């Protein structure tokens, strides 16, 4: 028996194919007020089968470590290995070379060069290092004082001609988790209100739009500054899950003093911190409170052309600041002001944020009149989701002192 294609049948056979009007319009409703939520929707989300999201975050290996025990009176000889104690021996491996800027060769063909060493073995945090650039013209180097904190920089591997294999590159991802929070909003309208004439053309869809504005603003605050938790409510075993915001998911931070003028040099320093030392894009988004926007604007008061370039991406207007390190897409986020962080901001890398969705945004229409509850029609808006940082150190908190 043939069947007529109806919306009911379509929803049964292909759930999600038909989207509600609210769901289609959500990304168009005040996108500039909720930039993080907007970007996460536009770059795409991943389906989560659980309210708890387990994910792995990984960063590239650190490029440097530091000396953890002072070395005094050591004589380094060509062809003889010496022990170099470092803070994080796990980032080094055999056959890698290291650069020690604090040790300069005093004379010979390589005079003035920093000592380069070859790692012959690793024992915990102790590296066994063979000097590379001591030669017949300078066979010894006396270390008078290699202080604690001196840099030890990782460089490239060096293999022998007949070597086929080398030590494996290991960068273990760290497992983390977050909770999807159930965000809801409900709108009701009485039957008589629905049937009556509206002088200004106000209708139920307008109420939905206002409710979505408020709902998205609340979600934006949770996605930024929420605290991951699960608690029981009342005497039942029902739990409420709270999502953790991205503000505390990164270890990287930059601080500036509000009592001092924020200069052009400070912005360059901020860009250096945001773009260098970690894997990431050369295009990042700076979401900032009004206080931070003000100090940045004052830093460029004499060069207004800096902020003359404006670009609309993901439905949001950004002002671009380009430095030699990368391009910052700057946008004033009212959420920072609303959460008491008007002098703060956050640099996010859009390529390395992921939104997980357990329950996609939906609008369920309910007739309370048919249920015999009250003479109203209602819509319940629901989404269960969270946002995580896949490469936490590619993002940067900006804090005010």
pLDDT of residue 53: 82
Higher per-residue confidence, 399 vs 281: 399
Q: How far apart are CA 162 and CA 143, in angstroms?
A: 34
Mean pLDDT, the chain, integer: 78
d(CA 258, CA 279): 30
Contacts of 181 (CB under 8 A, 6+ apart): 222, 226, 241, 242, 243, 384, 385, 386
pLDDT at residue number 126: 92
Q: Please give the Cα distance from 331 to 286 (Å, whole number).
A: 6
Residue 293 pLDDT more than 80?
yes
Of the two residues 384 and 32, the one the predictor is more confident about is 384
Q: 106-123, pLDDT tens digit by residue?
A: 887 778 888 888 998 889
Among candidate residues 251, 209, 223, the one with its CA nearest the CA of residue 381: 209
- β-strands 82-85, 74-77 pairing: unpaired
pLDDT at 397 over 50: yes
Q: CA-CA distance, 309 to 65, in Å (whole number)?
A: 40
Strand 140-143 to 74-77 pairing: antiparallel
Question: Strand pairing partners for 177?
Answer: 54
- Give 264-310 as a 3 state SS string: HHHHHHHHHHHHCCCCCCCEEEEEECHHHHHHHHHHCCCCHHHHCCE
Residues 131-146: what's their mean pLDDT?
A: 86
- pLDDT band for 277, please (50, 70, 90 cuts): low
In eight-state DSSP terms, residue 173 is P
Helices 35-42 + 204-225 axis angle, to 10 = 100
Which DSSP state fits 244? P
Tell me the pTM.
0.66
């Amino acid at each position: 028996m043939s069947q007529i294609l109806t919306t009911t049948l379509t929803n049964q056979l292909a759930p999600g194919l038909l989207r509600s009007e609210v769901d289609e319009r959500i990304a168009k409703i005040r996108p500039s007020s909720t930039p993080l939520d907007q970007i996460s929707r536009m770059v795409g989300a991943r389906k989560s089968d659980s309210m708890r999201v387990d994910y792995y975050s990984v960063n590239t290996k650190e490029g440097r470590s530091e000396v953890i025990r002072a070395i005094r009176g050591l004589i380094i000889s060509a062809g003889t290995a010496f022990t170099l104690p470092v803070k994080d021996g796990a980032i080094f491996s055999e056959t890698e070379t290291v650069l020690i800027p604090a040790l300069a060769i005093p004379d010979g063909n390589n005079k003035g060069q920093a000592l380069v060493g070859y790692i012959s073995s690793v024992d915990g945090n102790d590296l066994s290092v063979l000097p590379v650039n001591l030669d017949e013209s300078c066979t010894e180097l006396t270390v008078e004082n290699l202080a604690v904190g001196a840099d030890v920089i990782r460089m490239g591997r060096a293999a022998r001609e007949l070597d086929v294999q080398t030590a494996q590159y290991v960068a273990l991802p760290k497992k983390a988790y977050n909770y999807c929070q159930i965000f809801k909003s409900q709108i009701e309208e009485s039957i008589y209100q629905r049937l009556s004439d509206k002088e200004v053309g106000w209708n139920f869809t307008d109420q939905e739009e206002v409710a979505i504005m408020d709902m998205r603003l609340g979600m934006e605050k949770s996605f930024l500054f929420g605290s991951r938790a699960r608690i029981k409510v009342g005497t039942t075993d029902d739990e409420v899950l709270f999502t953790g915001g991205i503000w505390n998911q990164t270890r990287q931070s930059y601080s500036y003093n509000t009592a001092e003028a924020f200069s052009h040099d400070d912005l360059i320093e901020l860009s250096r911190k945001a773009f260098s030392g970690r894997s990431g894009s050369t295009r990042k988004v700076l979401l900032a409170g009004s206080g931070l926007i003000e100090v940045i604007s004052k830093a460029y008061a004499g060069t207004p052309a800096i902020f003359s370039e404006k670009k609309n991406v993901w439905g949001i207007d950004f002002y671009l600041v380009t430095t030699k390190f990368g391009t910052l897409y700057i946008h004033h986020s009212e959420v920072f002001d609303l959460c008491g962080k008007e002098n703060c901001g956050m640099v996010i890398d859009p390529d390395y944020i992921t939104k997980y969705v357990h329950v996609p945004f939906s609008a369920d229409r309910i007739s309370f009149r048919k249920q015999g509850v009250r003479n109203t029609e209602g819509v319940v808006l629901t989404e269960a989701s969270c946002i995580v940082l896949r490469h936490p150190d590619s993002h940067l908190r900006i804090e005010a002192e």
